[in-house]
């Protein structure tokens, strides 16, 4: 009882503590607009207890972790050292060994005090930049020999205002130079940069208490491992949508556009698409519920707040007041749309057929199933919905369709598939084996249990290839590893991501905690953690393994092994792998598209070592020309081999160019406010791993050819054995 009373008193004194600490941090003029809530204090206490009790690493939140938490929080707010100064960091240092004690008691004073200082610094910097921008842009001397560091995260905190001003001057000059090289006039450059910094200032005012708490909480969770994270209520809802590939709403993708909410696109066959009146680029200025009643003006609202108004139960109506995309700002139109289930079909498994020839020249039809994620609608499954959405159900249907088309084999394309449901990885593997274990899972208490297909049943018996790359992670690695261990198919591509941990979603007083509770192991006993799945045949990759993958992430758990599991060996490959590799290498040396990809990889390796960007116009042009010449040379090399006309020039994007507008769906609590860079768990896919629709998918075609060779060799091998009997 005494502890409960103490907690209540503690909650009441948080606001006073904030004010006192503001004075200690020399912040007498800060207006404390944001303060922690009682629910957030309870959430922090519960989160710490859960991390210590249930995380696989069994790590205690002590003084050492407290110091790391403070450092991680500062890095989350100011990763490029553009706002805080050394004096600010010194003022925060007394908290280094106190965050653990304060957080256990639900005291979030440090989080909100530090954020207030960040917000004050950022606001002053953006307002000062906007005021000085005309003089800055007009006064830039592009003939000076100076440069901008590309990786600015390791530089020390600025010791003086002058040093910080110089960092900002160089950043703005780099942006202006990129626009200048894009042939924008000085007036256009000024207009673009003014709009960019005005939008950043506008977004700064939209931060709320949940945003601050989420950044602070995740600065702690990431110290346990890269995949343990706190989900705010909004992020938890979006996670469910991504897992189920469906939600109730109107099916419109929204984006903040200055003070307006803009329609980016409509989900095909969604309610808005079927209704037919809403158009991309329409601006939403009001939202009303049902077919009658008041419209709420949403100009200046946060994007997620507008989304909350538009989403709702199916078979209810929402009315949108919009400014038509081709209209004037004084034009208005009200559109009533009935909400319904929106299915994100473009993110579900898809199939197609490619035709290749094996090494003997015989044509082969190869079915390709592209699986972008391992999804399942758990809510529909729990409701007993017979038509619930899942990866395995979709793939089973696609296999039936492809077999009806007479395909000779299947390629399962898992490139860029970051994982998802563990259950779906197991069930999907069951479509390709008769029965048996697919994965071993070891808990924090070191107990091991096995999951897989427990009953014999029909399965696809034809030859399969699994195509992976560096962004194939988690559930993708379980599936690819099982296919490889069973000898059921051929795994080709690149070493996978290396995420060999299992997370559970646990409810907190506010939001959810995704916590790593287990590690999974292949039936061979090997963990995929850190190491990933190594393909049977390796392709060139534009992904740098030193920069992308589990091994590149801080606080990643280690690789290890446990005992293997007895399992059937389908022996699809047998002793044929050396022959398959040899034939692949012969083709790769003669294939213009494959050689082109190899040359691109080499050029990317040269570019990655670039440490600075020149701020001299002459030097920047020379850098761009050199890169364009290399790109032109490898493109003409491909064209010459194919007997196509050669090019005189090739337009190459300036690698230093800053896009004029960043999607505002990434802005806010999961992004750095000043730069607009999303804070993603995994890097985005790079060009070249999956070619555009206008270019052949070189790696997929080669996977098909390897699979065709496997079929040809297997048939010869079977015939030889029959004769010997």
* Strand pairing category for 436-443 and 448-453: antiparallel
Q: Averaged in consecutive runs of 10 residues, what is the pLDDT profile of the chain (725 residues)? A: 38 38 39 82 97 95 97 95 95 96 96 96 95 95 92 85 95 94 93 91 89 96 96 82 76 83 84 89 91 87 87 91 72 90 80 92 95 88 85 96 96 93 94 95 92 92 96 95 96 96 93 95 95 95 84 92 93 87 93 88 79 92 88 86 79 39 29 29 38 63 95 64 38
Could you say which DSSP state residue 268 is in?
T
**Best CA proximity match to 418, nearest among 377, 374, 376:** 374
In the block, tokens 């199916």 appear at 314
Residue 327, pLDDT score: 57
- Would you call 160 a catalytic residue per the annotation? no
d(CA 279, CA 266): 8
**Best CA proximity match to 702, nearest among 545, 470, 467, 474:** 467
The CATH architecture of the domain made up of 347-572 is Alpha-Beta Complex (3.90)
d(CA 151, CA 530): 24
In the chain, CATH 3.90.226.10 sits at 347-572
In the block, tokens 């806010």 appear at 668
Output b/e per residue, 432-452; b: 16+ Cβ within 10 A.
bbbebbbbbbbebeeeeeebb
Residue 173, pLDDT score: 96
In the block, tokens 């007394």 appear at 94
Six token digits for residue 675: 């730069």
Among candidate residues 472, 474, 518, 541, the one labeled active-site is: 474
Within 8 A by CB and 6+ apart from 287, the residues are 295, 296, 298, 306, 309, 310, 318, 319, 320, 321
**Best CA proximity match to 452, nearest among 471, 474, 433:** 433
d(CA 476, CA 463): 19
Q: Rounded to whole angstroms, what are the CA distances from 529 to 361, 525, 526, 543, 547? A: 41, 12, 9, 18, 16
pLDDT tens-digit profile of 650-667? 654 443 333 322 222 223
Among candidate residues 211, 413, 485, 654, the one labeled active-site is: 485
Burial class from Cβ neighbours inside 10 Å (0-12, 13-18, 19+) for residue 156 reads: exposed
Residue 305, pLDDT score: 86
Task: Check if the beta carbon of residue 589 is closer than 8 Å to that of residue 553.
Answer: no
Residue 26, pLDDT score: 40
**Phi, psi values for residue 294, rounded to 5°:** -70, 155
- Would you call 560 a catalytic residue per the annotation? no
The model's pTM is 0.81
d(CA 475, CA 332): 48
Angle between helices 38-54 and 209-221 (to 10 degrees): 20
Residue 651, pLDDT score: 53
Among candidate residues 499, 519, 599, 630, the one labeled active-site is: 499
- Would you call 173 a catalytic residue per the annotation? no
Residue 20, pLDDT score: 36
SS3 content of the chain, % helix, strand, coil (to 5): 45, 20, 40
Residue 3, pLDDT score: 40
CATH 2.30.42.10 assigned to domain 246-343? The reply is yes
In the chain, CATH 2.30.42.10 sits at 246-343
């Amino acid at each position: 009882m005494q502890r409960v009373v103490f907690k209540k008193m503690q909650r009441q004194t948080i606001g006073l503590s904030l004010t006192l600490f503001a004075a200690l941090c020399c912040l007498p003029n800060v207006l404390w607009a944001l303060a922690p809530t009682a629910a957030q204090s309870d959430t922090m206490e519960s989160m710490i207890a859960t991390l210590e009790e249930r995380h696989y690493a069994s790590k205690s939140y002590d003084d050492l972790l407290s110091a790391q938490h403070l450092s991680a929080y500062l890095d989350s707010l100011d990763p490029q050292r553009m706002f805080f100064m050394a004096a600010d960091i010194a003022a925060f240092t007394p908290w280094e060994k106190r965050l653990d004690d304060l957080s256990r008691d639900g005291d979030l004073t440090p989080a909100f005090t530090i954020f207030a200082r960040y917000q004050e610094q950022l606001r002053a910097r953006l307002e000062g930049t906007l005021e000085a921008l005309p003089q800055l842009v007009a006064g830039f001397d592009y003939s000076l020999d100076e440069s901008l560091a590309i990786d600015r995260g390791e530089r020390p905190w600025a010791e003086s205002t002058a040093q910080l001003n110089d960092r900002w001057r160089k950043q703005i000059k780099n942006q202006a130079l990129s626009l200048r090289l894009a042939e924008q006039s000085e007036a256009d450059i000024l207009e673009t940069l003014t709009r960019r910094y005005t939008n950043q200032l506008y977004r700064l005012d939209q931060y709320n208490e949940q945003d601050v708490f989420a950044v602070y909480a995740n600065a702690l969770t990431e110290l346990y491992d890269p995949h343990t994270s706190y989900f705010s209520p909004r992020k938890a809802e979006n996670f469910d949508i991504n897992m189920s590939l469906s939600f109730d709403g109107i099916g419109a993708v929204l984006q903040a556009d200055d003070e307006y909410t803009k329609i980016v696109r409509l989900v095909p066959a969604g309610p808005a698409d079927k209704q037919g009146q809403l158009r991309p680029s329409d601006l939403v200025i009001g939202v009303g519920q049902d077919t009658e009643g008041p419209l709420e003006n949403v100009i200046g609202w946060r994007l997620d707040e507008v989304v909350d108004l538009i989403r709702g139960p199916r078979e209810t109506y929402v009315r949108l007041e919009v400014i038509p995309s081709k209209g004037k700002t004084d034009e208005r139109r009200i559109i009533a749309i009935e909400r319904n289930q929106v299915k994100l079909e473009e993110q579900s498994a898809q199939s197609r057929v490619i035709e290749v020839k094996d090494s003997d020249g015989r044509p082969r039809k190869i079915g390709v199933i592209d699986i972008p994620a391992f999804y399942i609608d758990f809510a529909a499954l729990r409701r007993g919905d017979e038509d619930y959405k899942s990866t395995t159900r979709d793939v089973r249907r696609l296999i039936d369709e492809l077999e009806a088309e007479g395909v000779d084999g299947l390629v399962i394309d898992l490139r860029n598939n970051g994982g998802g449901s563990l259950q779906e990885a197991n069930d999907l593997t069951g479509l390709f084996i008769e029965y048996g274990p697919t994965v071993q899972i070891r808990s924090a208490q070191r107990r091991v249990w096995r999951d897989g297909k427990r009953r014999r049943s029909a399965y696809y018996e034809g030859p399969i290839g699994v195509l992976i790359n560096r962004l194939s992670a988690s559930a993708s690695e379980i599936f690819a590893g099982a296919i490889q261990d069973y000898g059921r198919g051929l795994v080709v591509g690149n070493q996978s991501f290396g995420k060999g941990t299992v997370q559970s979603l646990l409810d907190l007083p506010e939001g959810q905690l995704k916590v790593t509770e287990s590690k999974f192991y292949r039936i061979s006993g090997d963990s995929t953690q850190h190491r990933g799945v190594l393909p049977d045949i390796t392709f060139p990759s534009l992904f740098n393994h030193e920069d992308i993958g589990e091994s590149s992430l801080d606080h990643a758990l280690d690789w290890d092994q446990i005992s293997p599991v007895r399992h059937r060996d389908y022996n699809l490959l047998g002793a044929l792998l050396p022959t398959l590799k040899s034939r692949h290498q012969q083709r790769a040396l003669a294939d213009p598209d494959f050689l082109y990809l190899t040359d691109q990889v080499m050029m990317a390796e040269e570019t990655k070592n670039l440490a600075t960007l020149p701020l001299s116009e002459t030097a920047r042009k020379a850098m761009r020309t050199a890169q364009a010449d290399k790109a032109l040379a490898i493109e003409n090399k491909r064209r010459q081999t194919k007997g196509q006309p050669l090019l005189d020039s090739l337009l190459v994007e300036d690698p230093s160019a800053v896009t004029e507008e960043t999607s505002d769906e990434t802005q806010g609590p999961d992004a750095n406010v000043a730069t607009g860079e999303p804070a993603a768990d995994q890097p985005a896919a790079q060009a070249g791993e999956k070619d555009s629709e206008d270019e052949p998918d070189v790696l997929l075609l080669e996977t098909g050819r390897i699979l065709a060779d496997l079929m040809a060799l297997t048939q010869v091998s079977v015939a030889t054995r029959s004769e010997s009997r």
